[in-house]
Amino acid sequence: MNDVLVVEDLVCSFGGVRAVDGVTFTCKGGQITGLIGPNGAGKTTVLNAIAAAVHLSRGSIKWEGQELAGLSTYQVARRGIARTFQISNVFEHLTVLENLLQGAPPGRADSLRGALFGARAARRWEAQQVEKARELLSRCGLAEHEDQYAGELSGGQKRLVEISRSLMSDARFLLLDEPMAGVNPTLGEQIAEYLRELVSGGNLSMLMVEHEMAVVSELCSNVVVMAQGSVLMEGTMEDVQRDQRVRDAYLVG
């Protein structure tokens, strides 16, 4: 199992405050890496930096050997990295099915030129994507909601739409920002089960920011602990739970 995502000495500062101060860790392929730490540790900022949603001041982020720093959000997405947001980000006025179609990799078919000149090819491409989307929807049980406006779904359902959308593009890496937040425990368990199943295929790796320790120990083979902008330690969940520094950070933070 090789290192697919390597973060090295990442620094993000906003108006003089270093939210992320020299963070280094790696994620291995086919695994879920957990990113935990007390509030304000900078976890979401790290995620945002990898997804190019925030600017990084210094450091390097290598994905499959290529440097991500300096790319814009959509460019990172096109390299096979998908993400979810802390508050589920769906397209409110598009149907659930259309939401998933928005996750399909962009190409000639969904460009302006495709709309004007390649209409037939575009329609064929779209039909294929619809098939795939429907399959993903039935996998997570949302098939009967396909024509509903995504804005009308519950929080847990929106979270599933988000995850399914990221799978549409055959993403190879998934950045998850507190996927269990705002979701009831039963549903949370089933989302966790779904995530585990997705990773078992071997083609997908994940970095997950999460507060629910139970979920982290269940899903994450590797855990990175952050506090106040830097990495405290990296290791398995057992190692982390035994570490005194981590305990101190949680009590203090």
With respect to other proteins, which residue has the nearer C-beta, 126 or 243? Answer: 126
DSSP 201: T
Rule CB under 8 A: is residue 13 a binding residue for other proteins?
no
**How many CA atoms are closer than 13 Å to the CA of 26, on its beta-carbon side?**
11
Judged by CB under 8 A, which stretch of 29-37, 179-187, 219-227, 245-253 contacts other proteins? 179-187
172 near other proteins, judged by CB under 8 A? no
Residues 6+ apart with CB under 8 A from 203: 30, 172
- Phi, psi angle pair for 90, to nearest 5°: -115, 165
- For residues 13 and 221, which CB has a smaller minimum distance to other proteins in the complex? 13
Site residues (CB under 8 A) for other proteins, limited to 132-161? 134-135, 138-144, 146-147, 149, 151-158, 160
Select the residue interacting with other proteins from 9, 14, 106, 239 (CB under 8 A): 106
Residue corresponding to tokens 């405050």: 17
CA distances from residue 62 to 5, 59, 68, 253 in whole angstroms, order as listed: 6, 10, 6, 30
Alpha helices in 201-230 (DSSP H): 213-219
Residue 166: count of CB within 10 angstroms of its CB: 23
Binding residue for other proteins, selected from 91, 213, 236, 243, defined by CB under 8 A? 91
DSSP secondary structure letter of residue 109: G
Which of the 8 DSSP states describes residue 29? Answer: T
Residues contacting residue 46 through CB under 8 Å, at least 6 positions apart = 7, 10, 12, 20, 23, 35, 226
Which position among 4, 68, 101, 215 is part of the footprint of other proteins (CB under 8 A)? 101
Selected binder of other proteins within 53, 71, 213, 233 (CB under 8 A) = 53
**Using rule CB under 8 A, residue 250 touches other proteins:** no
Binding of other proteins by 253 (CB under 8 A): no
Min dist. Cβ of residue 236 to other proteins (A): 29
**Residues in region 194-213 near other proteins by CB under 8 A:** 194
Shortest Cβ 213–other proteins spacing (Å): 19
* Strand 58-63 to 230-235 pairing: unpaired
Which residues are at the interface with other proteins (CB under 8 A)?
A: 51, 53, 72-74, 77-78, 82-83, 85, 88-95, 97-98, 101-103, 105-106, 109-112, 114-116, 119, 122, 125-126, 130-131, 134-135, 138-144, 146-147, 149, 151-158, 160, 162, 165-166, 169, 182-184, 186-187, 190, 194
